Amino acid sequence: MFIESGHWEKTQYLLEKGMDVEVTRRKVIADNIANADTPHFKRSEVTFEAGLRRALDSERSTQEESVPAKVTDSRHIPFFKALDYKQVQPAVRMDYLTTMRNDGNNIDIEAETQAMLKNQLRYQSMAQMISNNYRLLSSVMRMS
């Protein structure tokens, strides 16, 4: 049931994409830490989760509350179209609004170190979940 309904593939895709995002985030955090003493350096951060949440919520709202529209021509525009979660990409954003020091640098080394630790935990958790999913698939295939 879990595998037949397509949830396994979607879960695997989201976990793999999440690991890719965490790799990108790790590079950005490492760059921030490396430039902690560089005058006028502005920290960057990776945004992804909000866009993914918006795409997944749009799928749910399409199924639950959308008004059906009769689209009989390719030029017709549907009332509501769900966002494709596979099209969501991570974005690196620079923080120009804050300043931590007199030289214009806005790196808080303690916050960046904590972000690096959280990043590592998220990456390891996703890797473990992917491993568990493949183990589940393997056991289902043995039962067939």
| Structural domain boundaries in the chain | 1-39+108-144, 49-88
Report the chain (144 residues): mean pLDDT per 10 consecutive residues: 65 95 98 95 96 89 62 77 90 91 92 97 97 88 81
Cα 16 from Cα 13, distance rounded (Å): 5
What number of H helices and E strands is found in the chain? 3, 2
The pLDDT of residue 67 is 64
The pLDDT of residue 2 is 45
The pLDDT of residue 66 is 58
Question: Among 107, 113, 111, 133, which residue's Cα sits nearest to residue 19?
Answer: 133
Cut 0.85: pTM above it: no
The pLDDT of residue 95 is 93
The pLDDT of residue 109 is 95
Question: Are residues 10 and 55 in contact, defined by beta-carbon separation less than 8 angstroms?
Answer: no
